[in-house]
Amino acid sequence: MPDRKTLLVSQVGTLGLPSPGSLVFFDAQTLKIRAAYPTAAVFNELAGENWGASNCPGKPAAEFSPLGISVKQRDDGRWQVAAVNHGQGMRVEMFELLKTGEQFGLSWRGCVVPPAEVSMNSVVLLRNGGFVASHMFDRTAPNLFGLSTGIWKSQLGFDTGYAFEWLPAAEQEFRVLKGSRGPFLNGIELSADERTVFVSVTSGNEVRKIDRGSGDLLAAVRIERPDNIRWDEHGFLLVASLTGSRLENLSCIKNTGENCGLAFDIVRINPENMATQEVFKHAGPPMGAATVAQQLGDSIYLGSFTGDRILKIPYKSPAK
pLDDT value at position 155?
Answer: 84
Q: What is the mean pLDDT of residues 127-139?
A: 96
Contacts 24+ apart (CB under 8 A), 77-84: 79/2, 80/51, 80/109, 80/125, 80/129, 81/8, 81/23, 81/106, 82/123, 82/125, 82/131, 83/10, 83/23, 83/37, 83/123, 84/120, 84/121, 84/122, 84/123, 84/133
* Residue 128 within a domain: yes
Provide the 10 A C-beta neighbour count for residue 101: 5
**Cα three-residue angle 140-141-144, rounded to 5 degrees:** 135
* Residue 152 within a domain: yes
pLDDT value at position 145?
Answer: 77
More confident residue, 249 or 5: 5
Question: Do residues 301 and 294 touch, judged by C-beta distance below 8 A?
Answer: yes
Q: What percent of the chain has pLDDT over 70?
A: 95
What are 157-178's pLDDT values in tens digits?
899 999 999 999 999 999 999 9
* Residue 41 within a domain: no
Q: Tell me the CATH number at 120.
A: 2.120.10.30
Give how many domains the chain has, as a whole number: 1
141 backbone dihedrals φ, ψ, rounded to 5°: -65, 150
pLDDT at 122 over 90: yes
* Residue 132 within a domain: yes
If pLDDT is split at 50, 70 and 90, which confidence band does 16 have?
low
User: In residues, how long is the chain?
Assistant: 320
Please enumerate in sequence order all residues whose Cβ is within 8 A of that of 217, keeping only pairs 6 or more positions apart, or say none.
179, 180, 208, 209, 210
Q: What percent of the chain has pLDDT over 90?
A: 72
Q: Residue 68 belongs to what H/E stretch?
A: strand 66-73
Please enumerate in sequence order all residues whose Cβ is within 8 A of that of 170, keeping only pairs 6 or more positions apart, or say none.
none
* Residue 295 within a domain: no
pLDDT at 236 over 80: yes
Q: Which domain holds residue 119?
A: 114-222
Looking at the DSSP bridge assignments, the partners of residue 224 are: none
Q: Residue 251 belongs to what H/E stretch?
A: helix 246-254
* Residue 255 within a domain: no
Question: Do residues 71 and 26 touch, judged by C-beta distance below 8 A?
Answer: no
Helix, strand, or coil (residue 180): helix
* Residue 284 within a domain: no
pLDDT value at position 84?
Answer: 96
pLDDT at 54 over 70: yes
What are 291-320's pLDDT values in tens digits?
999 999 999 999 998 888 899 999 988 875
If pLDDT is split at 50, 70 and 90, which confidence band does 49 have?
confident
166-175 core/surface letters (b: 16 or more CB in 10 A; e: else): bebeeeeebe
If pLDDT is split at 50, 70 and 90, which confidence band does 183 have?
very high
* Residue 43 within a domain: no
The alpha-helical segments, DSSP class H, found in 136-220 are: 149-155
Q: Which of 69, 53, 163, 160 is nearest to 113 (CA)?
A: 53
What are 93-118's pLDDT values in tens digits?
999 999 888 889 999 999 999 999 99
